[in-house]
């Protein structure tokens, strides 16, 4: 499973907007219990000039995520180490009957002070004031602590991120990997969440001689929470709304999504002899060793997360036992493919799983059976001896169409959100045409898809819950081993009591494109 989601554990909208009388500001209000988050700027609504502080209104969003849960999952090897995983901020547009701005940018900046969510709901009349109750507002981070600057204290500079909106109703999907990793490490930033606000040039213009040029002045020196902004906008951006963490819509809540490539590509079932038809890197085959102890994957004690070594042998004539001298292999050395070396050096992948890349030349009369021996190095213990039925690459006189028929061999009608399910595929070529002998005596050969992806969608409205992710993260890539393709899914990603469909896409090299497969596999989460 290569996707995990962490829903926000606190959010709030804070504002200095005018109340209905256009003279009193809502700087004391909190909206932490609302299921909607709102960000806007208004210029020129109140009477008077900008210098009198009556024509600028701003709303900002505060969100905090359970970074401690991400850190714990990393400790438990449920999330990869830094550098092997990407984190994305995901927020979803909430449609409304008011105006929506176009062509704007939101700053996404980490907050540098602890704040309280609050229990206010009123986003129309701003009647839910903090006073001595828990909650943050435009002037205060909590019931006991004020912001240094009205509207929130946050980092700028290198930690600042932006999200752009052309039409205005777009969702947010923003790479926040560096920020999350810093929160986890805690070297420079503590996890106080993020602030979403319009850029300085799009927040309203305001100038007053009563306010110093420096925004580092105390909150009390600002006029009723109005910010000094000489580079601001002379027009309004009203209003952009997102679903909050309290939304009834399961998939619309603010989320940090972790994505990584967890696919296993075990070439044991499609091990090819080295050939002049293929470039050096394509002549390498990746083999895996899975160390199960009483049904659970465990590291080999003498190796743990270190190196393991693999020799390739021909079997003896009388039994499938390694005999003679290991075969000469091509192995990876740094970024190069080197010949004439053995044994090949493999390494640790994850708990109890080790892999190694090897290449073997078949010669004039290639053997139909080889043995891979995994061991601890010179005079080291042998841990496993496997069987390989190698194939030979051949050129073709036609361009295959790449059409397939797929079945899901272990699909159940119902799954629990408490499990991680493994879905196994059986794939054959669509135009497979057996002889009478083959049909009567041989099972259909399982075709391994080298590059495949899955997606999950809700049946009732075709909402795409887990889209194909075939970019740099490869989060939905199919794995394969000696039995064929498969993928793992953490069912907790899906809302309960709905039916879902699984769609598949296979990469077709002949047309250099991904091809959506026609089959849909359905199940329900209860």
- Classify 188 in phi/psi space as left (phi over 0), alpha (psi -120 to 50) or beta: alpha
- DSSP letters, 470-481, are -SSS-TTBPEEE
What's the whole-number mean pLDDT along residues 98-115?
96
Chain segment 465-503, per-residue pLDDT in tens = 999 987 777 899 999 999 999 999 999 999 999 999 999
How far, CA to CA in Å, does 161 sit from each of 100, 176, 373?
Answer: 22, 8, 50
Q: Is the pLDDT of residue 96 over 90?
A: yes
Three-state SS string over 234-259 comes to CCCEEEEEEECCCCCCHHHCCEEEEE
Least confident span in 174-178, 257-261, 396-400: 396-400
Q: Is the pLDDT of residue 401 over 80?
A: no
The domain segmentation of the chain, as residue ranges, is: 3-258, 267-388, 404-525
What's the whole-number mean pLDDT along residues 262-288?
92
Least confident span in 58-62, 290-294, 312-316, 517-521: 312-316
Report d(CA 233, CA 335) in Å as an integer.
53
Determine the topology of domain 267-388 in CATH: Immunoglobulin-like (2.60.40)
What's the whole-number mean pLDDT along residues 25-31?
94
For residue 280, which phi and psi values (nearest 5 degrees)?
A: -50, -45
Q: Is the pLDDT of residue 220 over 50?
A: no
Helix (H) / strand (E) element for 441: namely helix 436-441
How high is the mean pLDDT of the chain? 89
Identify the pLDDT of residue 438. Answer: 54
What's the whole-number mean pLDDT along residues 286-312?
95
What's the whole-number mean pLDDT along residues 286-300?
96
What's the whole-number mean pLDDT along residues 223-252?
91
Confidence of residue 356 (pLDDT cuts 50, 70, 90): very high
Confidence of residue 157 (pLDDT cuts 50, 70, 90): confident
Confidence of residue 51 (pLDDT cuts 50, 70, 90): very low
Place of tokens 């209000």: 29
Q: Is the pLDDT of residue 423 over 80?
A: yes
Q: Which residue has the higher pLDDT, 379 or 452?
A: 452
**Which residues lie across from 174 on neighbouring strands?**
89
Helix (H) / strand (E) element for 292: namely strand 292-293
Domain 267-388 and domain 404-525 have a common topology: yes
User: Looking at domain 404-525, which of 1.10.10.10, 3.30.460.80, 3.90.550.10, 2.60.40.1930 is its CATH number?
Assistant: 2.60.40.1930
What's the whole-number mean pLDDT along residues 312-341?
77
How is residue 323 written in tokens?
A: 């005999």
Confidence of residue 363 (pLDDT cuts 50, 70, 90): confident
3-state SS class at 27 = coil
Distance of CA 516 to the CA centre of its chain: 22
Identify the pLDDT of residue 435. Answer: 59
Least confident span in 134-138, 184-188, 413-417: 184-188
Report d(CA 76, CA 81) in Å as an integer.
11
């Amino acid at each position: 499973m290569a996707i995990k989601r962490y829903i926000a554990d606190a959010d709030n909208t804070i504002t200095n907007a005018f109340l209905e009388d256009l003279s009193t500001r809502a700087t004391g209000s909190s909206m932490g219990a609302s299921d909607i988050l709102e960000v806007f700027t208004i210029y020129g609504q109140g009477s008077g000039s900008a210098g009198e502080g009556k024509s600028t209104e701003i709303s900002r969003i505060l969100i905090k995520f359970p970074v401690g849960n991400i850190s714990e999952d990393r400790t438990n090897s449920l999330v990869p180490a830094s550098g092997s995983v990407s984190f994305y901020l995901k927020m979803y547009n909430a449609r409304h009957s008011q105006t929506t701005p176009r062509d704007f940018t939101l700053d996404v900046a980490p907050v540098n002070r602890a704040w309280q969510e609050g229990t206010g709901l009123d986003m129309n009349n701003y009647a839910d004031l903090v006073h001595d109750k828990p909650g943050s507002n435009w002037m205060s981070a909590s019931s006991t602590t004020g912001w240094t600057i009205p509207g929130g204290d946050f980092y700028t500079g290198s930690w600042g991120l932006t999200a752009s909106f052309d039409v205005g109703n777009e969702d947010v999907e923003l790479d926040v990997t560096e920020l999350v990793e810093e929160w986890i490490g805690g070297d420079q930033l503590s996890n106080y969440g993020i602030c979403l606000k319009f850029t300085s040039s799009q927040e309203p213009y305001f100038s007053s001689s009563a306010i110093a040029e420096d925004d580092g002045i105390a909150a009390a020196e600002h006029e009723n929470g109005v910010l000094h902004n000489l580079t601001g906008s002379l027009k309004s951006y009203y209003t952009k709304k997102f679903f909050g963490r309290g939304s009834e819509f399961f998939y619309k809540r603010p989320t940090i999504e972790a994505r990584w490539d967890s696919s296993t590509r075990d070439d044991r079932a499609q091990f090819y002899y080295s050939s002049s038809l293929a470039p050096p890197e394509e002549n390498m085959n990746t083999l895996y060793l899975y160390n199960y102890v009483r049904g659970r994957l465990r590291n080999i004690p003498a190796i743990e997360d270190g190196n393991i070594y693999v020799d390739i042998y021909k079997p003896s004539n009388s039994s499938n036992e390694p005999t003679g001298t290991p075969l000469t292999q091509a192995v990876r050395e740094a970024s190069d493919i080197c010949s004439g070396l053995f044994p090949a050096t493999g390494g640790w992948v994850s708990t109890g799983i080790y892999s190694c890349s090897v290449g073997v030349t078949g010669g004039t009369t290639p053997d139909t059976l080889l043995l891979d021996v995994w061991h601890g190095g010179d005079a080291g213990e042998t841990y496993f001896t496997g069987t390989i039925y190698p194939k030979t690459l051949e050129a073709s006189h036609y361009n295959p169409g790449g059409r397939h028929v797929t079945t899901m061999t272990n699909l159940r009608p119902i799954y629990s959100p408490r499990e991680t399910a493994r879905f196994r595929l059986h794939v054959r070529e669509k135009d497979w045409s057996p002889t009478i002998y083959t049909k009567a005596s041989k099972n259909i050969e399982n075709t391994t898809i080298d590059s495949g992806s899955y997606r999950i969608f809700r049946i009732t409205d075709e909402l795409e819950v887990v889209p194909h992710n075939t970019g740099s993260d490869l989060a939905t890539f199919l794995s394969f081993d000696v039995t064929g393709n498969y993928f793992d899914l953490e069912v907790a990603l899906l809302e309960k009591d709905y039916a879902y469909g699984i769609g598949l896409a296979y990469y077709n090299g002949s047309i250099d494109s991904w091809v959506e497969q026609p089959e849909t596999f359905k199940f329900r989460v209860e």
